[in-house]
């Protein structure tokens, strides 16, 4: 593994912290905006969903937790690699399981499935980058996979009429 220059290593954590702060602020604003219609979550609604949706949500929650830990944690350690590989498995599970979820466009793929395809391409590219010692490309690829594959796609699940909207606000 090639080490970053002092300038690069000083900027990556700051950028990740800003990204995490922006995501947290955006989630807070979104929750504040819909708080007037919020209620206690309807966990029974999730329990009634097909197993593939339950797997998808569970893997997404694991990936969200581990991805957040990775963004703010120390890089290049054994723990980073262990959490990272676990995150990759969770992300692949999220992406593949999403291919079997077709409620938006019954029976067919929808535009959101493009993020699944992108995730399945971006993950190996980011892994290949770190194997080649391209730390900045790896960090960028993993960060943008976290943002696009989890945050952006996850935000769509909270739109009115979607499952998680119904669980929390419906």
pLDDT in tens, 86-100: 999 999 999 999 999
Tally of domains in the chain: 1
Question: Could you tell me the residue range of the domain that residue 15 belongs to?
Answer: 6-168
Say if 50 falls within a structural domain.
yes
Say if 154 falls within a structural domain.
yes
The whole-number pLDDT of residue 9 equals 47
Longest dimension (CA), the chain: 52
Say if 1 falls within a structural domain.
no
Say if 142 falls within a structural domain.
yes
Q: How confident is the model at residue 12 (pLDDT cuts 50, 70, 90)?
A: low
Tokens in use for 34? 């819909």
Say if 88 falls within a structural domain.
yes
pLDDT in tens, 73-131: 899 999 999 999 999 999 999 999 999 988 777 777 777 888 899 999 999 999 999 99
Say if 133 falls within a structural domain.
yes
Q: With CA atoms as reference, report the closest residue to 100 among 164, 43, 53, 167.
A: 53
Q: Are 165 and 42 in contact (CB under 8 A)?
A: no
Tokens in use for 165? 């909207």
The whole-number pLDDT of residue 119 equals 93
Say if 159 falls within a structural domain.
yes
Say if 89 falls within a structural domain.
yes
Q: How confident is the model at residue 37 (pLDDT cuts 50, 70, 90)?
A: low
The whole-number pLDDT of residue 13 equals 66
């Amino acid at each position: 593994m090639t080490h970053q220059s002092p300038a690069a290593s000083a900027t990556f954590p700051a950028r990740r912290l800003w990204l995490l702060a922006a995501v947290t602020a955006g989630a807070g604003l979104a929750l504040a905006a819909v708080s007037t219609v919020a209620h206690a979550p309807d966990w029974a609604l999730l329990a009634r969903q097909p197993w593939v949706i339950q797997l998808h949500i569970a893997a997404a929650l694991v990936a969200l937790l581990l991805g957040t830990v990775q963004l703010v944690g120390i890089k290049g350690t054994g723990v980073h690699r262990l959490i990272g590989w676990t995150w990759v498995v969770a992300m692949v599970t999220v992406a593949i399981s999403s291919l079997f979820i077709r409620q938006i466009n019954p029976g067919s793929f929808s535009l959101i499935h493009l993020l699944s395809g992108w995730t399945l391409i971006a993950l190996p590219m980011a892994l290949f980058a770190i194997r080649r010692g391209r730390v900045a490309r790896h960090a960028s690829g993993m960060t943008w996979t976290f943002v696009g594959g989890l945050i952006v796609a996850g935000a769509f699940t909270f739109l009115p009429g979607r499952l998680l909207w119904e669980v929390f606000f419906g």
